[in-house]
Structure 1
Amino acid sequence: MAFKDNDQAKAYWAENLSLVLKLLAVWFVVAYGCGILFVDALNEIRFFGFKLGFWFSQQGAIYTFVALIFVYVNKMSALDKKYGVDE
């Protein structure tokens, strides 16, 4: 991986960290918010026969994490191409 200059490397990492923080925020809201904080309100809704709050705490956070991995891979591929450091 070779950047043209130090400013380009700093911009790349700034965008990378911004993406990571956004994705972690989404995961936190789903895992902690839906699984713990909003569980009583979500339990009023049924999802495949299960209370939605229970489903988020048991399955939803995991599915969200896996989906966020794919989002991260796609976004990082685009970021690598933008800065000319793709393979």
Structure 2
Amino acid sequence: RYMNLLSENKAGYDAANVNNYAALLKGKLLLVHGSGDDNVHPQNTLQFVNELIAKNKPFDMMIYPNRNHRISGGNTSLHLFSKFTEYFLSNL
């Protein structure tokens, strides 16, 4: 909706496709995804994971079941920010 249609902006879509950059990853990566996300569909994240695996890139991943793009609700925010803090302290 912001990038026009693929047929009208193929170069823009190619440039925005993170799968094209998996081989360039250096350092640590924590992927976090809500399985109920209707903005970034879980399949997109899984395609990126496949690219990371194909390029032998290490990564960590946290899935929040039934959480949307905001990844909130219940104890989720506390858990998420605790995960971020733990990851930063361990890896930076």
Q: 1 or 2, which has the higher strand percentage?
A: 2
The structure showing larger relative contact order (alpha-carbon pairs under 8 Å, at least 6 residues apart) is 1
Establish whether TM, by shorter chain, passes 0.5: no
TM-score, length basis structure 2: 0.27
Q: TM-score, normalised by structure 1?
A: 0.28
